[in-house]
Structures are given as C-alpha cells and as structure tokens.
Amino acid sequence: MSKFYITTPIYYINDQPHIGHAYSTIAADVAARFHRQHGDEVLFSAGVDENAQKTVQAAEKVGENLTKYTDQMSQSWEQTWKELGISYDRFVRTTAADHKKAVYAFFKAVKPDDIYKGTYEGWYCVGCEEFKKEDDLVDGKCPIHQTKPDRLKEKNYFFRLSNYQQTLLDHIKANPGFIWPESRRNEVVAFIERGLEDFSISRSTQKWGIPYPDDGKQVVYVWFDALINYLTATGYPKVGFDQWWPADVQIVGKDIIKFHCIYWPAMLISAGLKLPEKVVAHGFFTVDGTKISKSLGNAIDPSELASQYGVDALRYYLLREIPFGADGDFGHNRFNQVYNSDLANELGNLVQRTAVMITKYLDGVTGEVEAHSHDASNYNQAVGQFRFDKALEAVWEMVKGLNQYVEEEKPWELAKGDTEHLKEVLIHLVADLLQIATLLLPFLPDTSQKIIATFGGGKVNPEVGILFPKVEIDVTPVE
Ligand code: MSP
C-alpha cells in the first residue's frame, strides 16, 4: 500500500462550472478511485481560485459584496462536484485562513535572494490573470480573450525565475515522466530554452487578494498564491504535510502548463520542497465544433447534462471519446449516439437481459457467484498511463464478447432441454458482469454499484431497474 496524492486545478469563480472544467475533475476522480480500489491511501484535492481580479469584476457586475459572492460561488462549485459524484478529500478555498497560513509559510521558506523589488512595466490580461509580453499579443489584443490588456507600471516584488532555467531543464531531462504527454514536455522545454524572465509576484494597484507579507500596500499575485493551494491541501506547513507532499499526479489543462511546469517547480525548489512526480496535461475540447465561450452561450452545465443522462454517461463519453492528452469535441448528437449504443444497448441491455433470464429460468437464484478474474493487464496499464479511452475500450471488448456469448449459447434454446448447461451459462454471465463492474468502478461508479446490487447477492435484485433508459433527441445526421 502506498500513498497517492492527486490534484485538480482550482477554478476561477467568476462563472459557473462548464463541462470543460468537469473534464479535469472527472479524470482526477477516476485516478483517485482507481488507487483507492487498489488499496492506496489517497488524497484527492480540488478547490477554487478566489483571489483573482476577475472575481472582483464578476461580483461588481452582479452588485454583490465580495464575501457573499465568493461564498455563494464556492458553494455552487462544490455543489456541482457533489452532483457529479467527485470524491475529493479536500476542497481548498484560497480566501480561507489555512491557505493564507500556507502562503505565508511558503514565503518564509523561499530563498530570500530569490525575491527582489523592481518595477513592472507591461501588459496584464485579466482574462488570463497573466502578465503578457508584447510578443504574446496579436493586434495589441490578448489572442485568447480578444481584449486589450491593461497597461501597468508599478513597483512590484519579483521572483527570480531566471535563476532556475538550468535546474528546470536538468530536472525535466533526468525525469522523463515529469511532464506528460511528450508533446507538452517538448513545449515546456522549448519555452525554457527561449530564456526565462523573472516574474512579478505582487500587485500594488489591487486590494483584493492575500496581503503581501510585511507590505500591506500590495497583494500577492493570484497565480503565486493559487499554486500554493496544492500544499495547503496537505496541511502545509503543519508537521506531517510531507506524508502527502510531493503530489504524485497534478492534472491540468494544456493552457496552464507554463504555470505548473515552470513557475511552480521553480517556486518549490526555491522553498526547498520536493517537486511533484508528474504533471499530466490534457487537451481542450470544443462543443459541437465551437470553442466553449460564455458569449456564445454554449457553455454546457455538467449537472444539467448529468440530470438528463446520468453522471456516468457524461463520465463515459468524456473519457472514452476524447483520448486523454489530445484535443477533442463534445458533440450533442454524438453524445446521444454513444449513450444509446455503448451504454443503453451494449452494457445496459446485457445486464437487463441477464437479469431477466435468471429470473425466468432460475427463479432469480444463482447462489453466491465469484467475479471472474480474466487478465486485465491491458486495462490496468492503460489506466496507469492515463489512456482512459483505452481502458474503457478494454472493458467494452469484454462487454461485446459477452453479448456475443449470449447469442452463441442461446439460453432460450437451452431452457428447452439442457438446464444443466443453461445454469452454467447464466452463472458465467454473472461472474463476467461482476468483473466488469469491478473494472468500471473508477469510471462509472453508479453503474458499477448497480451491477453489483443486481447480481452480487446470490439472487437477482429486480429493484435496481434499467441502467441506461434510452434518451431520444432530435438528431441531425452526423457525417
Ligand atoms: N485558476 C486557474 C488554475 C489555477 S491552478 C493552481 C485557472 N482556472 S480556470 O477556471 O480557467 O480553469 C482552467 C482549467 O479548466 C483548464 O486548465 C482545464 O483544466 C479546464 N478547462 C477549461 N476549459 C476547457 C475545455 N474547453 N476543455 C478541456 N478543459 C478545459 O486556469
């Protein structure tokens, strides 16, 4: 048994969660559940990034005071994760006292020489909460947000990132598993090789944020404080925090690798702390071919989708359809199609059919059946390598194989005479389904539980009902 600490990004609360956010969190949840299932002691952290300038803007827009606004939004994010069955152990709020304590302790730990006072002159994009170089802008605008960044000139504290260029490169080279996938590792290496500049870690024109240590006139730059949340979740600086730290896996979207693979490791080295074992960056997906954007109104609420199709359907689609690490698309039609074929027809029907046959031919009674333990090394390897699509594919091979088995064995024919073999066939089905339920546990926890509830007790439990009721939508043909 070993420890496993996995993190998700902490999200900005200027808006409600959409399925893009749910993606990182669901992926981390699968890994957390997988490790728990295998007997590891798991810490799974999530949270909200509250000290951003955009929090202030969003609160102003709705005319709410900041404390009330942040409380409400943070609750709403937690509620969404609850609805999606996210099994986090810690939810960090960056306005909370324990986080501030961690930030101050971290400042004390950083090498004093790594921080100096200077003048920042340049651009700041509130959308990105990031200082921008002239080169980053297109026609004077942030290419991501299509807005003109603010011109700033202020006396700030700086972190000497330039000190860490070589150390970071050496670390990445010596630890090929540190950044996954390889394309992102190459991107990070190229970025470092272009030369690292020191970055400002305070803002003198803002009031919202964690007061800068020993300088009440400034607040800590939001990314500097946000990254430290990963330590807060371990109890840092309390004795024993290193029972969890360093993190085993940090899940992030590809948009924030610079912060997680460059700033964050440099900050940790400066503070004399270990580096995370692995940063795993997934891709971005569009909705029906279009970038998810508030202004287009295509930001799908994951709870809404889950209430229509069930949480497991959303989890299945996101992880099966989009190879982790690559970009992809969430298509409404495609989602409906996959739901009806893979979940309702292939898995749901199989479970239903098996239950009905046992009821009909064996009076519902199988006697205690032990789950099969067919070789699952492909599946295990795939989960270990974040190839979630491949892991699910391996389970579906079993599901398809089992459907074929039913077609070949034709229990309804056997029922006419060969009752001995009929029983064997039905028990074989149950033993396989119980193994499938075990393999599905990290991915589709509800479904897994339902399969076990249906067959696990030696007789069929008809109360569980249909796993995936067909959902009809107006489907426009997909080419
Ligand atoms: N607050 C920072 C993270 C700080 S972590 C110390 C932040 N927050 S965010 O609310 O903008 O969330 C960004 C994350 O949401 C991305 O890194 C990614 O994990 C996820 N996604 C947002 N949109 C997404 C898609 N369209 N597709 C996939 N993931 C997406 O950045």
The ligand 1 atom at the shortest distance from the C-alpha of residue 256 is 17
CA dist., res. 102 & res. 238, Å (int): 9
pLDDT of residue 369: 97
The stretches in the chain having pLDDT less than 50 are 478-479
Atom nearest to 12 CA in ligand 1: 10
Which residue type does 414 have?
L
Atom of ligand 1 nearest to the CA of 251: 19
Both tokens assigned to 8: 């998700």
Establish whether 261 is a catalytic residue.
no
Which ligand 1 atom sits nearest the alpha carbon of residue 285? 27
Tokens, residue 150: 């603010």
Q: How many whole angstroms separate alpha carbon 217 and alpha carbon 159?
A: 18
227 lines ligand 1 (CB under 6 A): yes
Distance CA 475, CA 477 (A): 6
Per-residue b/e over 218-237, b at no fewer than 16 CB within 10 Å? bbbbbbbbbbbbbbbbbbbe
Catalytic-role residue among 291, 374, 421, 470: 291
| Residue whose CA lies nearest to ligand 1 atom number 10 | 11
Distance 23 CA to ligand 1 centre (A): 9
Q: Could you count the other beta carbons within 10 Å of the beta carbon of residue 311?
A: 22
pLDDT tens-digit readout, 204-235: 999 999 999 999 999 999 999 999 999 999 99
Number of other residues whose CB lies within 10 A of the CB of residue 475: 12
Mutate to test the pocket of ligand 1, among 19, 21, 259 (most ligand atoms within 8 A of CB): 21
243-247 — which CB contacts under 8 Å span 24+ positions? 243/3, 244/3, 244/5, 244/43, 245/5, 245/273, 245/274, 246/5, 246/273, 246/274, 246/275, 246/276, 246/277, 247/5, 247/6, 247/7, 247/276, 247/277
Catalytic residue check, 145:
yes
Q: Is 405 in the pocket of ligand 1 (CB under 6 A)?
A: no
Amino acid at 173: K
Q: Is the CB of 21 under 6 A from ligand 1?
A: yes
Cβ–ligand 1 contact at 253 (below 6 Å): yes
User: Is 24 close to ligand 1, i.e. is its CB under 6 Å away?
Assistant: yes
Query: Model confidence over 320-379: pLDDT tens digits?
Result: 999 999 999 999 999 999 999 999 999 999 999 999 999 999 999 999 999 999 999 999
Nearest CA owner, ligand 1 atom 18? 253
For tokens 């004795």, the residue is 239
| Intra-chain end-to-end CA distance of the chain, in Å | 48
The C-alpha atoms of residue 178 and residue 246 are separated, in whole angstroms, by 12
- 252 in ligand 1 pocket by Cβ < 6 Å? yes
